[in-house]
A and B are shown apart, each in its own frame.
Chain A
């Protein structure tokens, strides 16, 4: 049924909710993941894996419950986000399980099988996703917590300073009985909330009340000061924790959101200049960074002498050996990478075993999530929603770029996880929350406007009735 109304405002045409599309896609995502799981078992042991039924049921349950919650509480949400997340998470589980079977990795001292843990983390992630949808009836509520978010983000960022560094980076906190958490992943979301709330309030002041300086508009200190301070603090903390990927992520996200809020191109120039200065500055004293840059410039030069270079070379050879179509799941030797094979470098396993075709498919899946996020930002009707959506999807895009680009040798490696794919609880849980918020915003954005009150104009033109 369609209600033809006047042309003055957005029509109350009942937009299709697309929930059935979403359901079909979730089923499809689960089916592909189960197929991948079976494939790994057949390739490695010549038989269907024993845990296949449990895995399939578990994944179907997660996807199904999430879908039902979306159907009930976010009826008009974007239909692609949930299936995409389910597919990536499901395939990630299959890949992690595949690496769990590697004898070479099992012999390595710092390796522990991670698939069953990852399934539990995925369940926690979906639970958080559901929690977001249930508790967050409207994303605009988050505006109220602008400054609380700021405090929370800073606490999350500072916490790892009190815990010992692991693998050269101080980005973990260890909670007895639960395990290690990477607060940076959560800080990413919380600080986006702060940026959105602050920029929404100050964006006019930032854009208009500015002085011209060397052809660029510089805002007043009292407008920009606080946000610049918080942002600089986060970056500094991250640099001291040597969590360079995340600091790059925060930086990029900040520039993007500032640009969107103020609509001033000068921010891009400003941001790029600052990032160049920052990068050179950090690289000049941080040995960790220098190693990474050396490894990036010529990975094979440091073979046998330089662990970072050697690992990068291993990763490149894994990609090269995969070639166009890959060796097939379970039939490659990406486990030669050893350290962090199932976390930072999991994309190399995709590259070797699923080949160029597989990696491109994965990149497109990520691209699709980003695209849906940006679409949500475009469709959102309130500036806060717009900023939050673009902040989250921009962060997602930058994270994928930094990780995949680092692993493929496009940029120096910085060490972050591929969202949903890599083994690691914090990453999976935080990204499910991120998807939850995006779904909430998209639901609000796509929800049909309430039928407008009959306007007097409309009454007047309705002359003839059959």
Chain B
């Protein structure tokens, strides 16, 4: 009986061998795949097992980490002033992933990014507790607060840029939300998020970057820049060829001005000061659709902007002649984000040089050593320095004694342009109030702002860029200038 016994022994050995081979296959060959499998909750557990790094404004953290009471995710994200900073940071939730900066800078914030490789390796030897790195933003706390205070209960957005570098100083969107309410993993978090998603006012929509509006009269600045750049007009104080009334091309419709303003053959400066539709409509028509598109391209239209948070593309489309003429006064199918109009204002304030907007100034390792520092970069040359200064003079006139007087700041040169963009079929809905502006001191321009207020509650006649939006822009600019003192 020993021969079959030996064979059975071999058989048992083979069974064990099969198990050993399978185990090696599973735990050695497939280990990486299984460890990082999308269903493997350990990835998430490890992700929340240590404190997340912070997002920093003005040297202070605007975020934090809190230890949770229950569940297997140890730390959750908290925001010091959630609604104020949500348009900048986005959210980071244990259950619902993350968005915006929290999402894009996740590698640094969790400490898993390759940029932190050296730091990680070092702390492996020193036995230090793992921690995420920090993201230092370009934002200015005072400007952000001023923007939110100005917008108040109204729906709208504010973007402030540093024209010289492209640094984003304020990025406000109202109504806002507190990302802390759904940062966790509980049923309550889920309910809170559902409530936000169902809210008709769309508090989670980042109006500064992801909503496009008709730009209204603020777009006349772009049209003026196109006219100067293409040599249609040279002298901003010379009379333009602008009949009144002026009939839209290929049409019998007469383009109207707001009220009885002196627009016939008005100079560029005068036409912008009182915001003549006829002058700029004809100007856009004279330049033609192609040249208008070229100019808007230089300002950054027609493609998405990454700040690094993605902003929707602002559009100046190919169109027929009457539509192109209307687009010249911002009332046709051209649409812009508030960020885009802030870029327009900043390019003009920066003597024609458009800088790439950005909001991450620095990334820091957990030990606060910088691993990345942003170098400002030029996005494009929007217009020549000479022409930029001409547009500046025109915009400064608007604030000095035009439609934008509400933006005046004592002792500071301010240039701006109001806009009241009609929208809805046959202008049926309440218009959007726009204001774009920049401030200038002895050392150049520290800030350019775009403000849009979409206020459905205000009395129709009260809605105007000068009345609603300009004071907000003024407060934001003032906050930036004051904080530099």
User: Which A positions have Cβ atoms within 8 angstroms of B?
Assistant: 103-104, 256, 259-261, 263, 300, 303, 313, 316-317, 319-324, 333, 336, 351, 355-356, 359-360, 363-364, 366-367, 370-371, 374, 377-378, 383, 386, 390, 393-394, 397-398, 400-401, 404-405, 408-410
Contacts and interface: CB of A to CB of B under 8 A. Distances in A.
Contacts of A355: 27
Nearest to A310: B39
Given A263-B3, A405-B19, A319 B72 contact: no
B34 A319 contact: yes
Given A356-B28, A383-B1, A401-B18, A321 B42 contact: yes
A351 B24 CA distance: 11
B4 A320 contact: no
B298 to A, nearest CB: 50
B405 to A, nearest CB: 62
Nearest to B41: A336
A351 B25 CA distance: 13
Given A324-B28, A370-B16, A410-B22, 15 more contacts: A104-B72, A259-B8, A263-B1, A300-B39, A316-B26, A320-B26, A324-B31, A374-B8, A374-B9, A378-B5, A397-B12, A401-B16, A405-B19, A409-B22, A410-B18
Contact of B12 (A316, A360, A370, A410): A370
A379 to B, nearest CB: 10
A359 B21 CA distance: 11
B81 interface: no
B128 interface: no
B16 A313 contact: no
B339 to A, nearest CB: 39
Contacts of A322: 27, 31
A366 B72 contact: no
B12 A393 contact: yes
Contacts of A371: 9, 12-13
Contacts of A405: 18-19, 22
B20 interface: yes
Given A260-B5, A359-B27, A377-B5, A367 B40 contact: no
A263 B4 contact: yes
B442 interface: no
A390 B37 CA distance: 42
A320 B28 CA distance: 8
B482 interface: no
Contacts of A383: 1
Contact of B39 (A303, A323, A377, A386): A303
A129 B45 CA distance: 44
Contact of A363 (B23, B42, B72): B23
B15 interface: yes
B325 to A, nearest CB: 56
A408 B22 contact: yes
A386 B5 contact: yes
Q: What does DSSP make chain A's interface, helix, strand, loop or mixed?
A: helix
Given A259-B8, A321-B42, A336-B41, A356 B72 contact: no
B409 to A, nearest CB: 59
A409 B26 contact: yes
A374 B35 contact: no
Contacts of A261: 1
8 contacts: A261-B1, A263-B1, A320-B33, A321-B34, A322-B31, A359-B23, A371-B13, A408-B26
A256 B1 CA distance: 12
Nearest to B27: A356
A229 B90 CA distance: 71
Q: Name the 4 nearest CB pairs between A and B, nearest first.
A: A320-B34, A356-B27, A397-B12, A367-B16
B36 to A, nearest CB: 9
A397 B16 contact: yes
B27 A300 contact: no
A323 B31 contact: yes
A370 B11 CA distance: 11
A316 B22 CA distance: 12
Contacts of A409: 22, 26
B28 to A, nearest CB: 6
A322 B37 CA distance: 13
A319 B40 CA distance: 11
Contacts of B381: none
A300 B39 CA distance: 8
A386 B20 contact: no
A396 to B, nearest CB: 9
B374 interface: no
B20 A360 contact: yes
A371 B14 CA distance: 12
B94 to A, nearest CB: 15
B32 to A, nearest CB: 8
Contacts of B32: 320
Contacts of A390: 5, 8
Nearest to A356: B27
A156 to B, nearest CB: 25
A319 B28 CA distance: 9
Nearest to A393: B12
A326 B9 CA distance: 31
A393 B8 CA distance: 10
Contacts of B484: none
B6 A378 contact: yes
B303 interface: no
Contacts of B13: 367, 371
B336 to A, nearest CB: 43
Contact of A356 (B7, B12, B23): B23
Contact of A374 (B12, B18, B33, B42): B12
A370 B13 CA distance: 9
Given A256-B8, A316-B34, A378 B26 contact: no
B149 interface: no
Contacts of A401: 15-16, 18-19
B310 interface: no
B426 interface: no
B30 interface: yes
B417 to A, nearest CB: 54
A363 B17 CA distance: 9
B252 interface: no
B2 interface: yes
Contact of A260 (B4, B22, B26, B40): B4
B214 to A, nearest CB: 45
Contacts of A263: 1, 3-4
Contact of A333 (B3, B16, B45): B45
A81 to B, nearest CB: 15
A336 B37 CA distance: 14
A72 B6 CA distance: 31
A336 B41 CA distance: 8
A56 B462 CA distance: 84
Given A351-B27, A356-B28, A398 B15 contact: yes
B1 A260 contact: yes
Contacts of B45: 333
Contacts of B35: 317, 320-321, 323
A278 to B, nearest CB: 19
Contacts of A324: 27-28, 31
B45 to A, nearest CB: 6
